[in-house]
Amino acid sequence: MKKVRIYDTTLRDGTQGEGISFSLLDKVRLAQKLDAFGVDYIEAGYPGSNPKDAGFFEETKNTIWTHAKIAVFGSTRRAGVAVENDPQVRMLASAGTPAVTFVGKSWRLHVDEVLRVPIAENLAMIRDTARFLKSQGKEVIYDAEHFFDGFKDDRDHALATLAAAKEGGADILVLCDTNGGSLPNEVKEITCAVIDAFGMPVGIHTHNDCGLGVANALVAVEAGAVQVQGTMNGYGERVGNCNMTTVIPNLQLKMGITVVPDLKKLREVSLYVDELANVLPDRRAPYVGEAAFAHKGGLHVNAIQKIAQSYEHIRPDLVGNRQHILISELSGQSTVLVKAAELGITLDKGDPQVAAILDEVKQLENQGYEFEVAEASFDLLVRRILGLHKPLFQLSQYHCDFLRIKGGNREITEAVVKLSVDGVEAHTVAEGDGPVNALDNALRKALRPFYPWIDAIVLQDYKVRIIDGGYGTAAKTRVLIVSGDGKSTWGTVGVSNNIIEASWQAIVDSFEFFILSSQGANSSGIES
């Protein structure tokens, strides 16, 4: 079985994506994570392009990498300049990395209209650069930019650029679909043609402009490519690069080509990269997304209870993910039984309580509730119907006031809460940044003497959705809240024509669920 090398360019090509940026420390930590994961090459950028890239090579020059080779990236020598006198090429050679990747022009359009140099000079620039870098003891990786467009435009010229790199001593020729516009049949056919013509290692570098970045990489491997370049989570210019979190498991699980030692770390790595980039993870990402193994329809849930592979193409744990059973108006008894079991509650199919839970879910979702991402609220719903729920307190009343002082910019928001716990009354007032925050503060203040743990709960996310916008400002509102305690997170929901009441419902559910979980209740609403 042939060996396929994984070449990660998240630190360089990935950072060209809109909204993607890493600090110097982020770059170092990410490189260490990728090395531990087992990628073969980590492209870390060009030391002359910005202080962070220069700092990375300086920071890591004495680092011992356990698996990966660090590659520096640059371009050919400039036109009309001897390669040994070109400062950019010399910087590549002196970066201290075992591998050097340089890019050259394969498409006549770029040679004629962008570089504006004779064809012979472009070929010499590629050949000279490869030869010089090889003379410096480097592993030389040649990225043939716009190769597929260039091949379709002028086959002989495109092949001549690869021949120049080979003559200069390049170790591998990487074919780049830089504009991301090629189709899989084109990529496979052209890759085969290159391998037949040169008989040396070939790699593939694809972009995702047609949504085919991963597909094009896979067919190139089928054609004989032995290196795949891409980025974690598909970060990259325009719509992104070939997504490594998709191509790696496809290579390993579907094509039988081992590329990393422990695929179970895949989701962890994906989330780590998103966290460093301060980007919300893609819930629907293949393999690693939270919804990748989520089941909602009652028939589907019934089937996977019997045999998981009936609706799952792989076992979720193979990529470090897990199965999610979603509760909604589409759910059947099987879904309720699974969710109840996750709560440590045993129910039988046909039990009237199961029907009662289903009916309540469907009624509430018809009113605008949504339990897919508010499983903590579903947990409490089940317990209420089964008579297993004890409320934290008995509410007497709450109200909020908002005051803007005329002639100034000062605003005052105040909330009042009156409640009792086991017959002991509490009456508190608190201010906040807006009515919901003031209400949260007043409720916490009232409950703190009874439940000191209340301060461990932090509201991490707050989302508002208008359900029936046709009613204008009288529309019904759904509030989704994500809470956490530093160890776990859970979601709750509230619905009302009054946004404050919807928020109150979600906040109270959050507090009540926390005490259940802290007492050892096993709930799917908590994610470690």
Domain ranges of the chain: 5-261, 394-518
- pLDDT higher than threshold 80 for residue 190: yes
pLDDT interval class at 101 (50, 70, 90): very high
**H helix or E strand, kind and range, residue 157:** helix 155-168
pLDDT single digits (tens) 411-466: 889 999 999 999 999 999 999 988 899 999 999 999 999 999 999 999 888 888 88
The answer to whether domain 5-261 has CATH 3.20.20.70 is: yes
The candidate with the shortest Cα–Cα distance to 244, out of 49, 43, 45, 54, is 43
**Cα–Cα distance list, 377 to 336, 446, 501, 515, 516 (Å):** 14, 22, 15, 13, 12
Residue 528 has pLDDT above 50, yes or no: no
344: left (phi over 0), alpha (psi -120 to 50) or beta: left
- Mean pLDDT in residue range 207-225: 98
Residue 40, pLDDT score: 97
C-alpha of 412 from chain center: 40
394-518 CATH pick, 3.30.160.270, 3.40.50.1980, 3.40.50.1100, 3.40.50.2300: 3.30.160.270
Does the pLDDT of residue 320 top 60, yes or no? Answer: yes
Question: Residue 523's pLDDT is what?
Answer: 35
Mean per-residue pLDDT, 202-213: 98
| pLDDT of 522 | 35
Nearest to 108 by CA among 143, 141, 156: 156
Most confidently predicted of 63-72, 327-336, 466-475: 63-72
**Mean per-residue pLDDT, 67-75:** 95
Question: Looking at per-residue confidence, does 358 or 212 come out higher?
Answer: 212
Mean predicted confidence (pLDDT) in 160-178 = 98
Give the range among 29-33, 87-91, 425-429, 469-473 with minimum mean pLDDT: 469-473
More confident residue, 106 or 371: 106
Q: Is the pLDDT of residue 203 over 90?
A: yes
Read off the pLDDT of residues 334-349 as tens digits, 9 standing for 90 and up. 667 777 777 677 777 7
The model's confidence at residue 469, banded by pLDDT at 50, 70 and 90, is low
Q: In the prediction, which pLDDT does 477 show?
A: 87
Least confident stretch, 88-97, 128-137, 362-371: 362-371
How far apart are the C-alpha atoms of 153 and 111, rounded to whole Å?
13
Q: What is the pTM of this model?
A: 0.72
pLDDT of residue 297: 63
Is the per-residue pLDDT at 504 higher than 90? yes
Query: Which tens digits make up the pLDDT trace of 29-70?
Result: 899 999 999 999 999 988 877 788 888 888 888 889 999 999
Q: Which helix H or strand E contains 80, and what residues bound it?
A: none
Q: Quick one: pLDDT band at residue 331, thresholds 50, 70, 90? A: low
Residue 462's pLDDT is 87
pLDDT given for residue 521 in this prediction: 38
The beta-strand segments (E) located in 146-244 are: 172-177, 202-206, 227-230
Residue 527, pLDDT above cutoff 50: no
What pLDDT, on the 0 to 100 scale, is given for residue 407? 64
What's the pLDDT tens digit per position in 142-156? 999 999 999 999 999
In eight-state DSSP terms, residue 287 is: T
b/e map 320-344, b = 16+ CB within 10 Å = bbebbbbbbebbbbbbbbbbbeebe
pLDDT averaged over the chain? 88
Q: What are phi and psi of 309, to 5 degrees?
A: -70, -5
- Average pLDDT value for residue range 227-238: 97
Q: Is the pLDDT of residue 330 over 70?
A: no
